[in-house]
Structure formats: structure tokens, C-alpha cells
Amino acid sequence: MTELFTILKDIILPIFVIMGIGFLLQKKFNLHVPTLAKLNIYFVVPGFIFVKLYSTVFSANLFMKILFFFLLYVAVLYILSVIVAKWMGLDNRKKVTFSNSVMFFNSGNYGVPVNDLVFKSDPFAMSIQVIVLTLQNIFVFSYGIFSLQSANTGKLKALLGYFKMPVLYAMLAGILLNVFQVPIPNVIWIPANYIADAMISLALLTLGAQVANIQFKSGLSSVYSSMVIRLLIGPMIALGIIYIFGVEGITAQALLIASAMPTSVNSAVIAQEYNNHPDFAAQIVLFSTIASAFTVTLVILLGRILF
């Protein structure tokens, strides 16, 4: 109970405070939510990804192990989500948002503090989480955007449209400048960090504003299905991969916990930007974040028992 209370107090509550501010601002001033989404995608997210990719030190061996785990994990989740979406009879556009809600998990403003709490600021454990965060950001703002665009405009136009996204160039710049150890002058680096620091708060503020506009309806079976896959089946899949490939110790524990995070806030942000069932995406993020207070705690305890 003590650990459950600590997670609720130190991780869940701060998230909901910012969401609550966004909710109240939307009710008071009727903010233009599509503009908030554009600020996320075209301003703060590129800055955040650039700073993280440039400043993170990666071990090549560890990176390849986690990359293999990540690719296999999201592939299984994708196949499962497509089967469930087809079984529920969702239309093509809603299928995309449903699959994204399952595959995109909150490895940043939720996963990082959970990792820091569980492993008591262990640098090796945090490096695992940062790699997962990096891969997740690349995945969300490459495949995620492409999938939503292709659902609305077709695959060719979506591919061409993606090359107009600043996120792509922020990722490439961060990786290349990191690999070749190119120094960045303060006139660029300081503003980039200011922009990156705004990402979490603006994303949660946007989510709160989205939630304020939601008209909750009965028949939320697709929302509940996404939650079950993301919060319960997802960690079980991760555990299976960990055992099959003999991952052990802190690496196994950190990957298991990372896999248990709720649906990413950015899945709702990009759904809003491309007008692809944004209310549906926001409901999934909200409900999965609330439920994760209990499911993540169980996964943390399971990880400590098994590894």
C-alpha cells in the first residue's frame, strides 16, 4: 500500500494537476484545441526529440538489444490490435487510432519518473528507459503520423506529407549530431532546451483541453479493449519476449515496467492534429492513465519478484 500511495502521489497526481489546468482553461476560455495540437507537433515535440537524441549517451550493444525487443513488442501489439479492431467492426480510420493507442505508450513523462522511483536513480536502468523513450518518440512521429495521414489522404500523399514534418528533421539532426559529436552553440542549444522543457506540460495541457470537450457516451467497449491490451496484455507479451530471449536482471525488470505504461499523450495529440477520432483517443489516454495507477504498481511488484 505504501508503494501504491507513493506512485499515486509522486507520479499520477502531478500528471492530473496539469491536465486539470487544461480542463479548466478550456471550460473558461474555450481554447482552440487544434492550435494547441499544432504547437505540440510543430514546436515543442521537435525540440524535445532533438534535445533527447543529441544529449543521450547510448551503448551500441544495449541499444541493439532494446531495439530488437521494441520492434518485436510493437509488432505483436499491432497484430493483436488489428485483430481486435476487426472483431469489433471499427471503421478504417478508427482502427488506426485504436492500434496507435495500443502501440504508443507513455514512456516519457510517466515512464521516466516511474523508472527513477523504482530503481532509485540508477543510471543503467535510466539509460534503458531513455532508449525506450527515444524509440517510442521516433515511432510515434514517423509511423503514427503516417498511419493517420494515410487513413485520410492515402499512403502516397501521407508519405509526401510526412517529409514536411519538422519532427523528421529534428530526429535526423539529433542522431547525426550525436553520432559525429558536433558541438552545438549556446545560441541554439539554450532555446532548444527551453522548448524541450515545455513539451510535457503543453502535451498534458492539450490533453486536459481535449477531455473538456469530450462528450462521454455509453458503449465504450473499444476504449476498454484498448486499456486491457495496453495495461494487462502488453506487459504479458513483454514478459514472454523477455523469457524467450533470456533477458535478465535490471534490463529485464526495466523493460517489463516500461511495457506497462498507459497510452501515450502524443497519440491523442496527433489524433487531434489529423482529426482522426480525437475524442476517442483522448478518452483512451485519460482512462488508461487512471487505471495504470493500479496496473503499473502490480507490474513493478511482479518485476521485483521475478527478477
Query: Residue 173 and residue 285: Cα distance in Å, rounded?
Result: 30
pLDDT greater than 90 at residue 271:
no
CB hemisphere CA count around 160 (13 angstroms)? 4
pLDDT digits (tens, 9 = 90+) for 10-44: 777 888 899 899 999 999 999 998 899 889 888 98
Question: How do residues 280-290 score in pLDDT, each as one tens digit?
Answer: 888 898 889 88
- Would you state the pLDDT for residue 159? 63
The answer to whether residue 90 scores a pLDDT higher than 90 is no
If you ran DSSP here, which 8-state letter would residue 31 be given? -
The pLDDT tens digits for 174-198 are: 889 998 999 999 999 999 999 988 9
Q: Fill in the DSSP letter of residue 57.
A: -
DSSP assignments along 90-148, one per residue: --HHHHHHHHHHHH-B-TTTTHHHHHHHHTTT-HHHHHHHHHHHHHHHHHIIIIIHHHH
pLDDT value at position 66? 92
Q: What is the 3-state secondary structure (H, E, C) of 233-293?
A: HHHHHHHHHHHHCCCCHHHHHHHHHHCCCCECHHHHHHHHHCCCCHHHHHHHHHHHHHHHH
Distance CA 302, CA 235 (A): 10
At residue 161, the pLDDT reads 65
Instruction: State how far the alpha carbon of 162 is from the alpha carbons of 54, 59, 92, in Å.
Output: 22, 30, 20
DSSP 3-state assignment of 64? helix
Pairwise CA distance, residues 267 & 106, whole Å: 9
The residue count for the chain? 307
Of 12, 140, 5, the residue nearest 70 (C-alpha):
140
Position 4 pLDDT exceeds 80: no
151-178 burial code (b ≥16 CB/10 A, e <16): beeeeeebeebbeebbbbebbebbbeeb
Of residues 45, 142, 98, the one with CA closest to residue 276: 98
Question: What is the rounded CA–CA span in Å between residue 94 and residue 147?
Answer: 11
Q: Cα–Cα distances in Å, from 216 out to 156, 212, 272, 284?
A: 35, 10, 17, 12
pLDDT level of residue 172 (50, 70, 90 thresholds): confident
The set of residues, in sequence order, having a beta carbon less than 8 Å from that of 255 and lying 6+ positions away, is 66, 69, 128, 132, 238, 242, 247
What pLDDT, in 10s, does the model give residues 216-259? 665 688 899 999 999 999 999 999 999 999 999 999 999 999 99
pLDDT, residue 216, reads 67
Residue 110 confidence (pLDDT) above 70: yes
**Count of C-beta atoms within a 10 Å radius of residue 237:** 17
pLDDT of residue 15: 84
**Amino acid making up residue 257:** I
Give a three-class secondary structure readout of 168-235: HHHHHHHHHHHHCCCCCCHHHHHHHHHHHHCHHHHHHHHHHHHHHHCCCCCCCHHHHHHHHHHHHHHH
Cell (9 digits) for 103: 502501440
Select the CATH number that applies to the domain covering 2-213+221-306 from these four: 2.60.40.10, 3.40.50.10160, 1.20.1530.20, 1.20.1440.130.
Answer: 1.20.1530.20
Percent of the chain with pLDDT over 90: 35
pLDDT in tens, 115-138: 887 888 788 888 888 888 888 878
Give the confidence band of 112 by pLDDT, cuts at 50, 70, 90.
confident
